[in-house]
């Protein structure tokens, strides 16, 4: 696009031409490329094209002149070869470095070469316009005297020369006039006046650039102000200045211009002498500047060396002191161990005697017990004892059974009644809060013949039966194990499958014979025998090439599918036809096919997936999505599926990833299998780290990826650290308190002294403290510029206190911090801020410990204990939790407000904490409202603090507190209703009675074949939507995948299908 109009900024040095040019640029005028760099004299930038500046300087040098030369240019300068060459160069600059309809050029020397610019503009059919940038001559002269050591009269003469020539040579053009002081005072009015005088419309509206203008227009730009008028020359300059302002771009009285000429004309009588002086002055300034810079550099280097020597000396002293301390500590430990060993020796002797006594007592009690058991009274009372056991153990289940039967009767479902009676006679136990997994399998996950028949009926009633191709790379697999794996596929109730097996150069004839045998027996089995080993990725790609199904299932050569595995996936596809990725729960089997270690997973949880490939088995992926992702890549062996899934989720949206909360896959744990090697360091973990890092690189998100649980000795877990902006935001930490000085001081000092995040403020909210020591501490700590003490004199209301403080917070991120928390790790706030700044994240919670290093908070599970409860409560600090969930960042429905960070904009968007919840559940309600607004709540274990829980407020141990607690429970249940029954970040197969991820008895997942469903299982679990309008679609531009968007914001609703 060629330039239509060119604005020439004509103003003397130190007259604010940089400000005017930058404003023109922000309002839509192009300033070209290759700008002059900022300098200490002008730290906010010159906004001046370097190439045009160089042309001007070269032209002046041709005539033996510099910018500070007082005489006029030679009389015929415009007709010289040098001027012609300069004009050609300027024309090329306009063509090559500028674009758009409107351009702006700035250099104070423009004042003196305006005739040349008029010629250049005419040759390129560009309309030239001039902005005369003025500033009071005494202020300009004062600035030049201060900056360059220039004489006052010389500076005034230069101002007069530049101003007179720019006014003279801009006549006849569209021109506007601006004043530096007026521009600083009201830039919007001044720029509007310039547009009016030049008869143009700025391409960009002024209100759109207010924030950018605020970054460089400030009072500190006015370094010098006008002074008294010392002589006639100064009076002449001031007179011209005031006349130009009054003319507003129009003509000036000739008498004023003649008086100005009377001062300028004598300067042209000795041009050579004055020009030499000007150049000599500039050379002297350059040499002085270089000398000054050299001196500063030398002083800086000397100071640096001195500091390094002092630091080294201090470091040596500290090392010696530390070694002395260590020696003393070891000696003390040695002495203590000697005493302890001595004490243990005595204890062992005492315990031996006690054991002998206990053995005698046990023998006597056993004799007495035998007498009782053989007595007539014991035999007579046996029926009474049996009834009592039945009353405690069986009666609750019969009540539960009665509810189910009543429901069946009301619906006329006599088949359900028949099944209930038959199962009751078979001995199904009463629901329990926890049980051994073997018992759980026996009663809730073992398919009887009748269940298989029911599943076959479901299969026959399917409206759609997509072909599912199972990929199975094989390499030196034991024959018996491989036979079982293949048979588990052939035993599938769902019959529209294809098994694609590739033997990857194992060179085992027995394996080859078996594969050819099964391929001949079943046309659904496709086999390829590779002569050479291609590793797992190559073999999987070969298997993929054999596949003809619309969906791909991944299966290891030594594992087992449950008989209903593919049917359950087909059912899920029937309910969610747009699904791109489906995954199930899994367990392990040993060499005897005994089941153990079930992994009951949450609904799609992107952050947990970044910490571990928890999808794993069984995973089913749309074939076209795999093609769009580029299939399996070599170089990621052991994590090749994780790498594929990371690329696949870039091509789809979160609502197309479906969880089926049923165990559909047995992961075989035998010597050498992946199932037995979890927790050991491997190349697979390194490959996973690389895959994850590349995922974020493709998405343009700056992160650092590393091991996630290395200190626990666990492999295959990852940590993603999100980069903070170059200028981290101010964080406002709100700490409510009443007295409890020791707790409060520990909290505040931990934040101020043991936190590596510097840009913070603490809002210490005093809620009616009375103790003199506390009030004195508030007065003292209030002198710290990072701390503000706020007074909240109303009765305690946690929600109202935090809302009161949040309204006064200056930070763009706010943190709710209990006064009974203490910092453990200095990086806690950096970690939480980095998470909170992610655009799709709402609340961020930390990992909290009791003072005895047991876990107090590992996130909040909705429904736990009836309303909500803390995950992993009372776990030891050294425990990684349920499948690593205590040591990995993840999305959770809620986190505690004892330590919670959130962007202030989101806090305000949802209206802060609900002040109707004064004490309990306000954080749960807040997190649910944040989630409802479309944000994800994150728990990060990489921010750890101690929490002494409610010490400052006390416990719910009075009738008044209990009444308030019950009313707040009702308040929450009335608001959220059935949403409190289901937590998508927690499995319906895990208990709601305790915090330890025990098994649910019975499970709440929907099992299509089962008669003994949890009441409302289908309605509560079938569709779990917890991002009604997600703020970040967590997706890249869709290429050839199956996603439905073009990268724009869209709804994203992770779901679980139980059935």
Reported as a pLDDT band with limits 50, 70 and 90, residue 968 is confident
Architecture per CATH, 5-269? 3-Layer(aba) Sandwich (3.40)
Structure tokens at 830: 């950096």
Query: Looking at residues 1043-1052, what average pLDDT do you find?
Result: 32
Per-residue pLDDT reduced to its tens digit, 94-111: 998 888 899 999 999 999
CATH node for 448-676+1004-1025+1027-1059: 3.90.550.10
Kindly report, residue by residue over 563-612, the tens digit of the pLDDT: 999 999 999 999 899 999 999 999 998 888 888 889 999 999 999 999 99
Establish whether domains 5-269 and 448-676+1004-1025+1027-1059 are of one fold.
no
Residue 375, Cβ density class (10 Å: 0-12 exposed, 13-18 middle, ≥19 buried): exposed
The residue ranking higher by pLDDT, 1025 or 762, is 762
pLDDT of residue 287: 63
Separation CA 736–CA 742 (nearest Å): 14
Structure tokens at 721: 């650290």
Q: Do the Cβ atoms of 984 and 1024 come closer than 8 Å?
A: yes
User: What pLDDT, on a 0 to 100 scale, did the predictor assign at position 315?
Assistant: 78
pLDDT in tens, 14-66: 898 999 999 999 999 999 888 888 777 677 778 899 999 999 999 999 999 88
Domain boundaries, the chain: 5-269, 388-431, 448-676+1004-1025+1027-1059, 677-723, 724-981
Cis peptide before 618 (omega within 30 of 0): yes
DSSP calls for 257-324? HHHHHHHHGGGGGSHHHHHHHHHHHHHHHHHHHHHHHHHHHHHHHHHHHHHHHHHHHHHHHHHHHHHH
Q: CA–CA separation, 1006 vs 763, rounded Å?
A: 48
Residue 353, pLDDT > 80, answer no
Q: Does residue 290 register a pLDDT over 70?
A: no
- Token code pair at residue 200: 């143009």
d(C-alpha 171, C-alpha 211), whole Å:
36
pLDDT tens figures, 242-281: 999 998 878 888 888 888 888 888 887 766 676 666 666 6
Return the number of other C-beta atoms located less than 10 Å from residue 89's C-beta: 17
Q: Is the pTM of this model over 0.75?
A: no
**Please, are residues 411 and 399 in contact by the beta-carbon 8 Å criterion?**
no
Question: Could you read off the pLDDT of 324-345 as tens digits, one per residue?
Answer: 787 787 787 787 777 777 766 6
Nearest to 105 by CA among 202, 2, 8, 4: 8
On whether the CB atoms of residues 511 and 479 are closer than 8 A, the answer is yes
The topology (CATH level 3) of 724-981 is Spore Coat Polysaccharide Biosynthesis Protein SpsA; Chain A (3.90.550)
Cα–Cα distance between 764 and 290 in angstroms, integer? 51
What is the per-residue pLDDT across 659-699, written as a single tens digit (0 to 9) for each? 999 999 999 886 555 544 443 447 888 999 999 999 999 99
More confident residue, 1026 or 270: 270
Tell me which residue has tokens 């003994």.
1012
Whole-number pLDDT of residue 704:
94
Distance CA 475, CA 457 (A): 37
**Token pair in block for residue 146:** 């201060």
Looking at the predicted structure, is the pLDDT value of residue 1012 above 50? yes
- For residue 394, what pLDDT band results from cuts at 50, 70 and 90? very low
The answer on pLDDT for 310 being more than 80 is yes
Q: pLDDT confidence of 422, banded at 50, 70, 90? A: very low
CA pair distance 127, 122, nearest whole angstrom: 7
Three-state secondary structure call for residue 764: strand
pLDDT in tens, 166-176: 999 999 999 99
Quick one: DSSP state of residue 435?
-
Rg (CA), the chain: 40
pLDDT category at 954 given cuts 50, 70, 90 is very low
Q: Give one word for 898, left, alpha or beta, with left for phi > 0 and alpha for psi -120 to 50.
A: alpha
How far is the C-alpha of 256 from the C-alpha of 308, rounded, in Å?
Answer: 64
What is the structure's pLDDT at 198? Answer: 92
Q: Convert the pLDDT of each residue in 443-488 to its tens digit.
A: 888 898 998 999 999 999 999 999 999 999 999 999 999 999 999 9
pLDDT tens per residue across span 60-85 = 999 998 888 888 999 899 999 999 99
Whether omega for the bond prior to residue 286 falls within 30 degrees of 0, making it cis, is no
Mean local confidence (pLDDT), 149-157: 89
> How many other CB atoms are there within 10 angstroms of residue 35's CB atom?
16
CA 904 to chain centroid, in Å, comes to 15
Predicted pLDDT at 681 = 42
Cross-strand partners of 630: none
What share of the chain has pLDDT > 90, as a percent? 54
In percent, the amount of the chain with pLDDT more than 70 equals 81
Residue 929 has pLDDT above 60, yes or no: yes
> Would you tell me how many other CB atoms lie within 10 Å of the CB of residue 657?
27
Sign of the dihedral defined by the CA atoms of residues 179, 181, 186, 188, in that order = positive
Whether the predicted pLDDT of 404 surpasses 80: no
Helix (H, G, I), strand (E, B) or coil at 436: coil
Instruction: Look up residue 111 and give its two tokens.
Output: 């004042």
- Contact, 873 vs 856, CB < 8 A? yes
Beta bridge partners of 586: 599
Q: Give tens-digit pLDDT for 606-638.
A: 999 999 999 989 999 999 999 999 999 999 998
Question: What does each C-alpha distance from 742 to 294, 737, 767, 899 come to in angstroms?
Answer: 54, 11, 16, 19
- Mean pLDDT (the chain) is 83
Structure tokens at 895: 């986190």
Each residue of 846-866: pLDDT tens digit? 999 999 999 999 999 998 888
Q: Could you please report the per-residue DSSP string of 961-1016?
A: HHHHHHHHHHHHHHHHGGGGG--TTS-TTB-SS-SS-PBPSS--S--TT-SSPPTT
Give the model's pLDDT for residue 382. 66
pLDDT at position 365: 72
């Amino acid at each position: 696009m060629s330039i239509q109009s060119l604005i020439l900024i004509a103003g003397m040095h130190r007259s604010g031409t940089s400000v005017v040019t930058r404003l023109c640029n922000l309002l839509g005028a192009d300033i070209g490329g290759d700008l002059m760099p900022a300098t200490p004299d002008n730290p906010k930038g010159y906004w001046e094209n370097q190439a045009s500046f160089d042309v001007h300087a070269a032209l002046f040098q041709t005539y033996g002149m510099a910018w500070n030369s007082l005489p006029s240019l030679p009389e015929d300068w415009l007709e010289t070869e040098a001027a012609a060459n300069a004009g050609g160069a300027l024309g090329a600059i306009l063509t090559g470095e500028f674009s758009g309809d409107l351009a702006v050029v700035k250099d104070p020397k423009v004042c003196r070469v305006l005739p040349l610019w008029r010629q250049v503009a005419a040759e390129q059919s560009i309309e030239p316009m001039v902005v005369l940038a003025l500033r009071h001559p005494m202020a300009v002269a004062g600035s030049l005297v201060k900056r360059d050591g220039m004489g006052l009269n010389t500076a005034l003469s230069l101002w007069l020369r530049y101003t007179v020539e720019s006014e003279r040579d801009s006549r006849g053009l569209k021109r506007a006039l601006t004043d530096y002081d007026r521009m600083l005072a009201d830039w919007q009015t001044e720029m509007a006046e310039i547009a009016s005088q030049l008869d143009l419309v700025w391409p960009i509206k002024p209100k759109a650039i207010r924030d950018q203008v605020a970054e460089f227009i400030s009072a500190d730009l006015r370094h010098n102000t006008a002074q008294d008028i010392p002589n006639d020359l100064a009076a002449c300059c001031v007179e011209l200045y005031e006349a130009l302002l009054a003319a507003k771009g129009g003509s000036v009285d000739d008498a004023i211009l003649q008086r100005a000429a009377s001062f300028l004309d004598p300067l042209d009588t000795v041009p050579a002498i004055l020009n030499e002086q000007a150049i000599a002055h500039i050379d002297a300034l350059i040499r002085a500047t270089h000398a000054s810079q050299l001196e500063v550099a030398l002083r800086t280097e000397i100071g640096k060396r001195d500091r390094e020597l002092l630091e080294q000396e201090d470091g040596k002293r500290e090392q010696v002191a530390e070694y002395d301390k260590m020696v003393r500590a070891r000696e003390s430990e040695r002495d203590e161990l000697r005493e302890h060993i001595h004490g243990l020796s005595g204890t062992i002797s005492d315990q031996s005697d006690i054991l002998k006594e206990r053995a005698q007592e046990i023998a006597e009690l056993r004799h007495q017990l035998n007498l009782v058991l053989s007595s007539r009274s014991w035999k007579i009372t046996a029926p009474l004892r049996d009834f009592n056991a039945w009353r405690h153990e069986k009666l609750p289940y019969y009540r539960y059974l009665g509810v189910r039967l009543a429901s069946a009767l009301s619906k006329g479902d006599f088949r359900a009644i028949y099944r209930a009676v038959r199962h009751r006679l078979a001995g199904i136990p009463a629901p329990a809060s926890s049980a051994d997994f073997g018992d759980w399998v026996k009663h809730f996950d073992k398919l009887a013949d009748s269940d298989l028949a029911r599943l076959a009926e479901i299969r026959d009633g399917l409206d759609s039966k997509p072909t599912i191709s199972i990929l199975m790379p094989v390499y030196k697999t034991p024959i018996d194990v491989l036979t079982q794996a293949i048979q588990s596929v052939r035993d599938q109730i769902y019959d529209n499958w294809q098994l694609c097996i590739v033997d990857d150069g194992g060179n085992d004839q027995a394996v080859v014979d078996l594969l050819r045998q099964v391929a001949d027996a079943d046309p659904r089995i496709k086999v390829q025998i590779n002569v050479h080993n291609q590793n797992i990725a190559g073999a999987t790609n070969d298997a993929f090439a054999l596949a003809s199904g619309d969906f791909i299932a991944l299966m290891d050569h030594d594992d087992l599918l449950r008989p209903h595995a593919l049917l359950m996936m087909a059912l899920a596809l029937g309910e969610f036809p747009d699904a791109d990725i489906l995954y199930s729960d899994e367990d392990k089997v040993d060499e005897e096919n005994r089941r153990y270690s079930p992994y009951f997973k949450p609904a799609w949880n992107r952050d947990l997936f970044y910490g571990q490939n928890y999808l794993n088995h069984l995973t089913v992926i749309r074939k076209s999505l795999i093609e769009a992702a580029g299939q399996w890549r070599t170089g990621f062996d052991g994590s090749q599926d994780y790498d594929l899934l990371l690329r696949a989720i870039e091509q789809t949206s979160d609502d197309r990833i479906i969880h089926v909360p049923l165990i559909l896959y047995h992961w075989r744990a035998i010597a050498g299998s992946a199932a037995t090697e979890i927790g050991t360091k491997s190349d697979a973990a390194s490959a996973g780290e690389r895959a994850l890092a590349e995922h974020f690189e493709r998405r343009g998100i700056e992160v650092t990826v590393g091991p996630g649980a290395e200190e626990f000795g666990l492999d295959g877990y990852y940590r993603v650290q999100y980069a903070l902006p170059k200028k981290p935001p101010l964080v406002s930490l709100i700490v409510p308190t009443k007295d409890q000085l020791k707790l409060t001081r520990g909290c505040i000092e931990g934040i101020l002294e043991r936190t590596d995040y510097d840009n913070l403020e603490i809002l210490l909210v005093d809620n009616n403290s009375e103790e003199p020591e506390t009030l004195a501490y508030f007065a003292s700590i209030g002198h710290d510029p990072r701390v503000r003490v706020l007074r909240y004199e109303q009765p305690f209301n946690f929600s109202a206190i935090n809302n009161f403080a949040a309204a006064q917070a200056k930070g763009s991120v706010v943190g709710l911090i209990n006064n009974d928390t203490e910092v453990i790790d200095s990086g806690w706030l950096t970690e939480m801020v980095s998470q909170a700044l992610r655009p799709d994240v709402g609340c961020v919670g930390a990992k909290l410990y009791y003072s005895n290093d047991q876990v107090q908070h590992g996130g909040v599970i909705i429904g736990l204990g009836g309303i909500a409860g803390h995950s992993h409560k009372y776990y030891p600090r050294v425990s990684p939790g349920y499948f690593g969930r205590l040591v990995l960042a993840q999305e959770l429905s809620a986190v505690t407000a004892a330590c919670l960070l959130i962007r202030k904009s989101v806090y305000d968007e949802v209206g802060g904490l609900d002040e109707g919840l004064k004490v309990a559940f306000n954080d749960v309600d807040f997190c649910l409202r944040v989630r409802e607004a479309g944000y994800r709540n994150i728990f990060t274990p990489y921010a750890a603090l101690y929490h002494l829980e409610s010490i400052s407020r006390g416990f719910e141990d009075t009738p008044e507190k209990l009444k308030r607690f019950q009313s707040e429970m009702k308040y929450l249940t009335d608001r959220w209703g059935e949403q409190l029954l289901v937590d998508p970040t927690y499995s319906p197969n895990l208990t709601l009675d305790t915090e330890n991820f025990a098994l649910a008895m019975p499970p709440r997942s929907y099992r299509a074949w089962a008669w003994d469903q949890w009441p409302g299982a289908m309605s509560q679990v079938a569709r779990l939507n917890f991002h009604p309008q997600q703020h970040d679609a967590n997706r890249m531009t869709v290429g050839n995948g199956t996603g439905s968007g073009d990268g724009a914001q869209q709804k994203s609703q992770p779901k679980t299908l139980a059935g």
